[in-house]
Structure 1
Amino acid sequence: MKDCAPLILAAIPFGIIYGALGQSTELSAWAVVAMSVFVFAGSSQFIAVGLLAGGAAWPVIVLTTFFVNFRHLLYSANLLPHVKPYSQAIRAPMAFLLTDESFAVASNYLTDHGKQANFHWYYFGAALFMYINWQVCTLVGLFIGQSIPDMANWGLDMAMVVAFIGIIVPCLHNRATLACALTAGVLSLITYDWPHKTGLLFSAVVAILVAMYLEAKQGGMQPDAHISKGASK
């Protein structure tokens, strides 16, 4: 929880804006809260609320949110060696609680401490802290959104951009991770207009391949948690 606290602070305005945005649509308050409880994915929730409010067909909503959250497969592949010994009863809630923030905190912990027998308790401490924070912020946003119009247009979501920068910069520790981040950044700008956020996935995959190539060229080292993290942003 202590390690996750800085990212919690950045997520607070993002969660409040989601609640306020949901309140401004025709969705019921229960639907807005249920999405935070059962989906728990900030960017996908924003997109889904907009599509639902616009009357989009459910296949479009499902496919769009799928592509937006596809980066979580990269996160999962990176963490798999560390959670493989755990039972499915432990891995299932770990998968549900996986977010950009929980992955960043967990991968930094593993980088500093290596494989730990009780890693899942550390992970749950960070992930549940973020989960509870997101639910509270959704409720606050719903409440405030009823009193303050156009709150979603205040630009408070910039806090998440700052948080992601804070996650990435400390991870640029060698040429491979730097090339990974630069490749992902440039390609994400070039592919920004690709449909259903497919440019995000394409940029991440290419950036990871670039990093893997440079790591292999520098001595056959396996790409670590920093590589996947840098690409996914």
Structure 2
Amino acid sequence: MPRPSDPRRQEFVAGMRDTFPLLLGALPFGLIYGAIAATSGLSMAAAIVMSALVFAGSSQFIAVGLVAAQTPVAIIVLTTLIVNLRHMLYSATLLPYLRDLPQKWRIPLAFWLTDETFAVTVHRFQKDDASAFKHWYQLGSSIAMYLNWQFWCFLGLVLGNRIPDAQSWGLDVAMPVTFIGMIIPFVKTIPVAVCVLTAGAASLLTLSLPYKLGIVVSAFAGITSGLLAQRLARTGRIRK
């Protein structure tokens, strides 16, 4: 680890610090994931490995719910794949700032990339300063989120059956609220607003679909409407 006065260390610590307010959003979600995983048929080892290697809160939550419902494996894979497609957009946004880094940096940063880390990191990269170590900022944010998520998931697994009917507590509302809070600053154009509103409306309309297929439908609806709105904006039919 760099010396305290080293700019790399300063960026790393700043990334952890700026991510701190978002850590609490993972607390109830991680606990509930662990509690549900413990009663869904997954072994503790399998649940821990999923948390450590998948590291995708929404996908893990959906996956254990589908496992508990004895959903076909193909549906589980398809649903989690669609949910995680947003990370391709995150990566495309950050690529211009990371393209010159060696693979030993880009691979772990890609693995650790989460919604929260993207939200704080993209603002850091967009700041106009001469720092050559902004990737250390992303690393700090990533490590903070990773350790935080593993801790709460493990605690949920340990408590397991001691948390009766965890889903009925309503604590999982913390994650959607966190997502909304992260999305709002990026809604600066009409196409993005159309995408967000369409996906939100579609998710409500398709809530009753089996196997959580409403997530897949809503994702495609949001993307399609956003692309259409962007095309209309380019032709001047709507404002950007």
**Interval of TM-score (by shorter of Structure 1 and Structure 2):** 0.7 to 0.9
1:86 aligns to 2:104 (yes or no):
no
Aligned residue for 1:135, secondary structure, equals helix
Aligned-residue offset at 1:62:
2.0
1:103 aligns to 2:118 (yes or no):
yes
CA shift digits 1:187-212 (9 cap, x unpaired): 44455548373223313422442564
Aligned-residue offset at 1:20:
0.8
Gap runs ≥5 in structure 1:
224-233
Give the residue type in structure 2 aligned to 1:12: L
- 8 Å CA contact 1:183–1:206 kept in 2: the answer is no
Q: Determine the structure 2 residue equivalent to 1:36.
A: 51
Distance 2:156 2:124 in 1: 32
Distance 1:93 1:181 in 2: 29
Q: Determine the structure 2 residue equivalent to 1:68.
A: 83
1:149 aligns to 2:164 (yes or no):
yes
1:1-233 equivalent positions in 2, closer than 5 A: 1-113=16-128, 117-190=132-205, 193=209, 195=213, 197-210=215-228, 212-213=230-231, 216=234
Q: How many residues get paired?
A: 219
Q: Determine the structure 1 residue equivalent to 2:9.
A: none
Distance 1:118 1:42 in 2: 28
Give the residue type in structure 2 aligned to 1:31: A
Identity of aligned residues (%): 46
- 8 Å CA contact 1:63–1:196 kept in 2: the answer is no
Aligned-residue offset at 1:164:
1.5
Aligned residue for 2:17, secondary structure, equals coil
**Residues 150 and 199 of structure 1: CA distance in aligned 2, closer, same or farther (over 3 Å):** same
- 8 Å CA contact 1:64–1:196 kept in 2: the answer is no
**Residues 208 and 175 of structure 1: CA distance in aligned 2, closer, same or farther (over 3 Å):** closer
Give the residue type in structure 1 aligned to 2:155: V
CA shift digits 1:105-154 (9 cap, x unpaired): 12222334479532211111111111100100011112222323212321
**Residues 54 and 107 of structure 1: CA distance in aligned 2, closer, same or farther (over 3 Å):** same
Distance 2:150 2:82 in 1: 24
Give me the CA root mean square deviation. Answer: 2.7
Aligned residue for 1:117, secondary structure, equals coil
Aligned-residue offset at 1:216:
4.2
Aligned-residue offset at 1:77:
1.6
Structure of higher CA gyration radius: 2
Gap runs ≥5 in structure 2:
1-15
Distance 2:225 2:169 in 1: 33
Aligned-residue offset at 1:84:
1.1
Aligned-residue offset at 1:18:
0.5
Aligned residue for 1:4, secondary structure, equals helix
